[in-house]
């Protein structure tokens, strides 16, 4: 009865959903790829997986794609004869995943509209579907289950902010959750929460966080110098980075930078909006603040960037390289109630980080970063200037925080192996 009602409702929701996706794509100047979302995948692309058993991994956006990388590498090593297909929901996620050499094909995930789901599954015929973090689509899960295709939730999490909403609508989610072959959750709290929403306890397992398994190492002097040259940054400048920033954060960071410049002349700020289509908006803030800037897409230019300037990044897929050349990194989405972003990315490169109070989406990671002494948390935007000042002044403190971040990564890995054991049981 639930699925009949759900599909009846989906008929009425289809038009507004399509309109929203068209608006989102056009406003972000990206092709909408509606055909793929309805299950029509070009034959030329399908040739990359034809006549091979398919492992399908779905990662919604950038964060999930990066977290999936260790698992993709392990899958490629364990199952070399399988085709690995990666699907995404967002354009930035697709751009990130498309650069992974482990995958054979990238597509957009279909709308949870029954004809679209059936057409996609008929076309791809995967042996297993691995869904990153928390994506629960009733039609997709039911159709895969009815065809005997195991569906595994990997790196699952239920954030503080989303738990109440999931619990309120548990009558909706439990129908799909009951059809998952395994639910691999990051923490015991995540296990308890998804069971409360309706997941079967006997198929819910704590496997740890795949994000701790991203490669980690400290770049040597020559590697760092070559990366700086790629971005037209002189080697003698101390680089501050503001990563994955959201509306409401950039102005605070620009103001902080302006306060620091009179005391520390050899600084350069790399400003990376979470959504690159906001680059024009952020450029307007820089212009009104009287700060000279260059866009990433304008590099390499005739001249190298100068001290006191800003490199405004209007591209995707370069975050880890940019972290690698940073001396201090602010991790965005944390000064505004967005839930924060992944502190493990700077930690994995031995870079000291600063972050704000809003870390509900990365609660466990934020606690570990503070416990290991790998970063600094500020209570409000007013704390940014002093925290940056302290880290700019002391190269030894930056070194210690960076080394602590690398130790955090060494001590907390292993989730990939636990996921692979479970995948091997059901594949």
What amino acid positions are annotated as catalytic residues? Answer: 64
Q: CA–CA separation, 237 vs 327, rounded Å?
A: 10
Q: Within its chain, how far is the Cα of 274 from the centroid? A: 10
Whole-Å CA distances, 399 to 302, 306, 327, 329, 386:
33, 25, 9, 13, 18
**Rounded-to-integer distance, Cα 255 and Cα 359, Å:** 22
d(CA 356, CA 376): 9
| DSSP states along 61-125 | SHHHHHHHHHHHHHHHHH-TTSEEEEEESSHHHHHHHHT-TT-SEEEEPPPS-HHHHHHHHHHH-
361/334 Cα distance (integer angstroms): 10
Furthest-apart CA atoms within the chain: distance in Å: 68
Looking at residue 301, the DSSP 8-state letter turns out to be -
Task: Please say whether the beta carbons of 402 and 350 come within 8 A.
Answer: yes
Find out whether 397 and 327 touch, Cβ atoms under 8 Å. Answer: no
| Cβ–Cβ under 8 Å, residues 273 and 279 | yes
């Amino acid at each position: 009865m639930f699925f009949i009602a759900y599909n009846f409702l989906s008929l009425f929701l289809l038009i507004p959903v399509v309109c929203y996706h068209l608006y989102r794509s056009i406003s972000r100047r990206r092709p909408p790829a509606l055909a793929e979302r309805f299950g029509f995948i070009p034959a030329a692309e399908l040739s990359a997986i034809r006549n091979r058993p398919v492992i399908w991994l779905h990662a919604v956006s950038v964060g999930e794609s990066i977290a999936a990388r260790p698992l993709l590498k392990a899958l490629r090593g364990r199952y070399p004869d399988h085709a690995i297909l990666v699907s995404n929901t967002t354009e930035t996620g697709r751009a990130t995943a498309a650069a992974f050499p482990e995958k054979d094909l990238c597509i957009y995930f279909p709308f949870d509209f029954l004809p679209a789901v059936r057409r996609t599954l008929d076309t791809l015929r995967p042996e297993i579907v691995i869904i990153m973090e928390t994506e629960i689509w009733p039609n997709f899960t039911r159709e895969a289950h009815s065809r005997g295709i195991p569906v595994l939730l990997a790196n699952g999490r239920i954030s503080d902010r989303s738990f109440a909403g999931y619990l309120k609508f548990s009558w909706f989610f439990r129908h799909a959750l009951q059809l998952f072959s395994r639910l691999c959750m990051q923490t015991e709290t995540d296990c308890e929460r998804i069971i409360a929403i309706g997941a079967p306890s006997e198929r819910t397992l704590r496997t740890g966080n795949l994000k701790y398994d991203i490669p980690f190492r400290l770049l040597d002097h020559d590697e760092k110098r070559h990366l700086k040259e790629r971005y037209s940054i002189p080697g003698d400048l101390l680089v501050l980075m503001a990563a994955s920033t959201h509306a409401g954060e950039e102005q605070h960071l620009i103001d902080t930078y302006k306060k620091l410049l009179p005391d520390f002349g050899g600084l350069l700020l790399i400003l990376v909006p979470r959504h690159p289509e906001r680059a024009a908006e952020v450029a307007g803030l820089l212009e009104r603040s009287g700060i000279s800037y260059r866009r990433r897409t304008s590099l390499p230019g005739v001249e190298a960037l100068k001290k006191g300037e800003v490199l405004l990044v209007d591209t995707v897929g370069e975050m880890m390289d940019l972290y690698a050349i940073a001396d201090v990194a602010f991790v965005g989405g944390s000064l505004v109630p967005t839930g924060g972003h992944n502190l493990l990315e700077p930690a994995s490169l031995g870079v000291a980080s600063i972050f704000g109070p809003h870390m509900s989406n990365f609660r466990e990671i934020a606690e570990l970063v503070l416990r290991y002494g790998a970063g600094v948390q500020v209570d409000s935007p007013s704390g940014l200037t002093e925290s940056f000042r302290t880290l700019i002044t002391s190269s030894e403190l930056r070194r210690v925080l960076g080394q602590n971040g690398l130790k955090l990564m060494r001590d907390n890995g292993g989730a990939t192996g636990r996921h692979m054991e479970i995948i091997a049981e059901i594949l």
